[in-house]
Structure 1
Amino acid sequence: MKTLTIYIAFLFASTLLFLNRYSDLYINNSITHFILLIIASITLILILGQVFGKLKTVKSRLLTVLIVVFVCFIQSFLTWGGDWKTQTILYRNLTNDNNTIEFQMRGDRFSFGYKKRVINRLKLFPGFDWTTDIDTNKINHKQWKKLNLYVNEMKFASN
């Protein structure tokens, strides 16, 4: 039962991370992303330790978990570019309130300035969105209500 739980946790966490990386699924919370990375890494190491007959003592497992958490933290710190933050909700879908077109910005960690994008954001559940790039000139205005709601998640000073 314990082994099955480890396999399920690895499958769940790694699938979400792969979908975040290689599809339009977006994990919009850096803490959630970090926790999934730690779960996937630790369960992979435990599975490999079981396959190769290593990590038999509690002390070796605990030390391995601490090392994996430290390495994941360093990796996340060095590669994380920042979360996309909504500045303005441009449109809201008339049939689905969880579907919006938003202007978002992200501050780059090691360079000056911001990246910008306009996306179609479908909120799946807390922490997870389905985002696609969209051209606002080509949308069907019969399906969208124009909002121009200034959200300012980047917390810029307003005049």
Structure 2
Amino acid sequence: MMRIEKKLLIGVNCLYCLLVILYLLDLFQLLEIKGDKLQGFIRGGAILPIVPLTLSNLLVFRKSNRKYLSLIPQLVVVCNIAFVILKIGFLGYLFSSGTWHTQTILYKNARSGTRTIEFQLRDVGAFGYDERVVEVTYFTPWFMLTKEIDPNSKPGREWVKINKEVNELNLKY
């Protein structure tokens, strides 16, 4: 019976590590998640199970030589959250949870169909909207790499101007 519990817990730990990696990549803006629900699931999946998973790992692996090795993912998340809260403040961490939404696709790359230059907005509640112009490389419809660019600069020859309205926030104007 204990073997099944260990295998199940190892599987849960692997899933947790995947969620932690996605969470940290999004947190440090190395990979952006395009979807409020998916981002909320990944953030919740990386933060909420810290205590129960830590206790489960200690109980199941208590006689093993590797019991402290199973705590590494939880310690990484706790240390990173503490670092971010110390760096940007608690309120900055809470209000950084919104995702960017494409309002207009300004340019599309002629050579690569996954690269665009977009005008994006992020809802910050009563404070209005943050805005940015970014070069976006999509891996899937939910995961993308972004690089902020100067909104007044003209892109190179490989970019085709399209000015396509997307309006993901469904703003009426």
Q: TM-score, normalised by structure 2?
A: 0.68
1:6 to 2, 9, 12: 12
Name the counterpart of 1:72.
none
Deviation at 1:115, TM superposition (A): 1.0
Give CA-to-partner distance per residue, 1:77-101, whole Å, 9 cap, x none.
Answer: x545533221111100111111100
Question: RMSD between aligned alpha carbons?
Answer: 2.3
Alignment of structure 1 residues 5-44 onto 2, 5 Å: 5-44=11-50
For residues 61-72 of structure 1, the aligned pairs below 5 Å read none
Unaligned segments of structure 2, at least 5 residues: 1-6, 61-93
How far did residue 33 of structure 1 move? 1.3
Per-residue Cα deviation, 1:61-91 (whole angstroms, up to 9, x for no partner)? xxxxxxxxxxxxxxxxx54553322111110
C-alpha distance in structure 2 between counterparts of 1:45 and 1:20, whole Å: 22
Instruction: Find the residue that maps to 1:101 and give its secondary structure.
Output: strand
TM-score (norm 1): 0.73
Measure, in 1, the Cα distance between the counterparts of 2:11 and 2:97. 32
Q: Residue 103 of structure 2 corresponds to which residue in structure 1?
A: 87
Counterpart secondary structure, 1:53: helix
Contact preservation (8 Å) 1:103, 1:118: yes
**Structure 1 residue matching 2:139: 3-state secondary structure:** strand
2:114 to 74, 89, 98: 98
Change (3 A) 1:41 1:114: closer
Pairwise CA distance, 1:154: 2.3
Distance apart, 1:120 and its partner CA: 0.5
Distance in 1 between residues matched to 2:122 and 2:46, nearest whole Å: 26
Alignment gaps of 5+ in structure 1: 55-77
In proportion to residue count, which structure has more strand? 1
Q: Is the 8 A contact 1:88 1:152 kept in 2?
A: yes
How far apart, CA to CA, are the structure 2 residues paired with 1:145 and 1:122?
Answer: 15
